[in-house]
Amino acid sequence: MNDSGRTQQLWIYIGEGDSLGGRSLAQQIVDVLRDAGCPGATVLRGVGGYGTHQVIHSEMAIDIASHLPLVITVIDRADRMALVIPKLRDLVSEGMIAITPVEVVFHSQREGGPFPRHLTVADVMSRDVARVAPEEPVVHIVNLLIERGLRAVAVVDGGGQVVGIITDSDLLSRGAQNLSVRLQRSLPLSERAAQAEALAAQPQSAADLMTPNPQTIPEHMSLAQAAAVMAGHDRKRMPVVGAGGHLVGMVSRSDLLKTVAEGLRQRPDEPLRLPEGAPATVADVMIAGPKTVRAEAPVADALDALLESPMRRVAVLDENQGVLGIITDGDVLRRASRRLPPSALSQLAAWLSAGKGPAALQIEGYGRLASETMSSPAITVRADAPVAEAIRLMMAHKVKALPVVDADGTFVGIVGRAGVLTALGGKA
């Protein structure tokens, strides 16, 4: 930023009482600068002065609260200035906008955290968010979740206010269905059609199934704050609201982690700066000692371990406790679909949704060993690796959890997105 031909200072002159659409004009200008990625802006309040109308205002005047001059200034690259100027001209109808070339002779700033400081939730959230009315029937809700590959849908009233949220877990716990949406996607089309037909007879509406008055996140919340909120409440995704509480998007763990992963990709030589006191290594955030099975174990044993796993993932180990692969309930259904008739497949899916393992005799027909059901090879991460490495691997390989190994390659635990988010949010 030391080239005066490429670095500029922006000056915006307005009045303290100026507003647009009922909101402070100064705040709207600052929001535009922040959203554009400008590294910092300063609002200066004058003690006196006059504008083109020749009316003098000063601190000694009675009406100082609304008429003192304001100056908003920022220093940034010329290319970013060129992008932001048209947006500012749309806001400033009375006042002045000026640009001057500058030479930066010294620049320093506080160390940032894991997220770019200029980004907010609005920059990373999903805007094409599904929403339903409180009277929406359950069959339409489930079809929406399946067709769009979603895990949750917001419930909004006629004014666009968020009044509830419906997740896969809500549908199961409130008796709307006995098979999770996630597992329904693994069924053949004929079985999915049968599930939809059964749902059509269900009387529940969105109002009956939703979690009412869910916690929401404002669109201008910082990503670090959002990570702390989601980690503190163990939320996978949360509705995002704008002015007046209207739904504007949905933010997920994945949205936050992808942002961090992109920063790691662009600056591979820079260490990830975590909040003070946050867990620093994978060992600090992993689940130690989860259920495992050997490769030669019967499928029934693998299913028992799977249903007892908090992440619905089981590591398949060799004789030296090394990781050969991972089994998820999706793996079970995909392998089973090749060998079981549709009715038996639906029953197996229902067992998995309910967390109840089927008898060994009833599942014996589709797979004999854990090694026949697992996904392999497994992407592992070292226990002593920094949290950043787990984030990089999860996002690069599009997985939600990683087996954790020690220096000798021995399996010691498993780490998921919830774990790494605790580090990003500064929670131990």
Residue type, 123: D
Backbone angles phi, psi at 268, to 5 degrees: -65, -20
Average pLDDT over residues 345-369: 56
What is the domain range of residue 62? 7-101
Radius of gyration of the chain (CA): 27
For residues 304 and 410, state if they share a domain. Answer: yes
Q: How many domains does the chain have?
A: 3
| Mean pLDDT, all residues of the chain | 82
For residues 248 and 309, state if they share a domain. Answer: no
CATH number of the domain where residue 91 is located: 3.30.70.120
In a domain, 277, yes or no: no
For residues 93 and 128, state if they share a domain. Answer: no
In a domain, 231, yes or no: yes
Q: DSSP string spanning 306-372?
A: HHH-TTSEEEEE-TTS-EEEEEEHHHHHHHHTTTS-HHHHHHHHHHHHHT-PPPHHHHTTT-SBGGG
292-307 pLDDT per residue, tens? 999 999 877 888 787 7
pLDDT-derived band of residue 1, with 50, 70 and 90 as boundaries? very low
CATH number of the domain where residue 144 is located: 3.10.580.10
63-85 pLDDT per residue, tens? 444 568 899 999 988 887 888 89
pLDDT-derived band of residue 359, with 50, 70 and 90 as boundaries? very low
pTM above 0.75, yes or no: no
For residues 55 and 175, state if they share a domain. Answer: no
For residues 288 and 158, state if they share a domain. Answer: no
In a domain, 175, yes or no: yes
Highest mean pLDDT: which of 159-168, 186-195, 354-363?
A: 159-168
In a domain, 238, yes or no: yes
205-241 pLDDT per residue, tens? 999 989 999 989 889 888 988 998 898 888 999 999 9
- The alpha carbon dihedral of 185, 186, 189, 192 has a sign of negative
CA 39/CA 25 separation, integer angstroms: 20
Q: How many helices (H) and strands (E) would you count in the chain?
A: 18, 22
The pLDDT of residue 114 is: 87
Q: Which residue reads 């997985």 in tokens? A: 399
The answer to whether the beta carbons of residues 332 and 313 sit under 8 Å apart is no
For residues 314 and 414, state if they share a domain. Answer: yes
231-270 pLDDT per residue, tens? 888 899 999 998 778 899 999 999 999 999 988 888 888 8
For residues 197 and 329, state if they share a domain. Answer: no
The pLDDT of residue 299 is: 79
Whether the per-residue pLDDT at 364 is higher than 60: the answer is no
For residues 419 and 324, state if they share a domain. Answer: yes
The answer to whether the beta carbons of residues 333 and 186 sit under 8 Å apart is yes
Average pLDDT over residues 8-28: 91
The answer to whether the beta carbons of residues 240 and 215 sit under 8 Å apart is no
For residues 317 and 212, state if they share a domain. Answer: no
Average pLDDT over residues 352-379: 67
